Amino acid sequence: MATEEGGSAAERIGSILQRLHAEYPDARCALEHRNALELLVATILSAQCTDERVNKVTPALFARYPDAAALAAADRDELEALIRSTGFYRNKAKNIQEACRRIVLAYGGEVPASMPALLTLAGVARKTANVVLGVAYQIAEGIVVDTHVKRLANRLGLTTQSDPEKIERDLQAITPSEEWIELSHLLIFHGRQVCDARKPACGDCVLRSLCPSAEV
């Protein structure tokens, strides 16, 4: 379906952002955290798991292990037991401990605030690094591309790519840098509430006239 308000992705992105800001004025990261370390760990746990489930696990986890040094020195079996319900718990526990050991040894116990440094941590790729930089440090290094952002970016005709890093580059090319952090929050909120993977609610969508995939 052609959009009623046609134009290239670059021509439509301003209107898309305007409408999403109006629809979701409180859009934010759904992972509950108090600092960069908690956000980093929660993001690692969120792989193949809902944010809701992660938020049920992290209070007890961080009460038991309040900092990077404590997590690095944690008993592996105990750590695995605490995060078991998030799935893939053995690999996640391994990554969390290895990341925290490096944070302690190389960065004085503080989560680094740069993309190159974050990418040296176990379990951290660009998506996780962008979450930490954007949410914890308000550094717009890039755009978080999760499953919702990937789906909506393609449906909205903002990219034709399937690889997250290529999608990120396409979105960066058309989105003002001051909107890079907010764009992912807005698309994630919209993906969860309206643009469902299986059955998008096009009739209730504020982006319908801007979306080439909208159903009549």
Exposed, middle or buried by CB within 10 Å (0-12, 13-18, 19+), for 71? Answer: buried
**Catalytic pick among 26, 56, 94, 146:** 146
**Catalytic pick among 56, 75, 77, 127:** 127
State which amino acid sits at residue 165.
Answer: E
Question: What does the H/E/C string look like for 144-191?
Answer: CCCHHHHHHHHHCCCCCCCCHHHHHHHHHHHCCHHHHHHHHHHHHHHH
Residue 56 among the catalytic residues: no
| DSSP for 76-124, written as a single string | HHHHHHHHGGGSSHHHHHHHHHHHHHHHHHHHTTS---SHHHHTTSTT-
Residue 77 among the catalytic residues: no
Asked whether the beta carbons of 164 and 127 are under 8 A apart, the reply is yes
Distance CA 94, CA 156 (A): 37
Asked whether the beta carbons of 134 and 180 are under 8 A apart, the reply is yes
Which residues are identified as catalytic? 127, 146
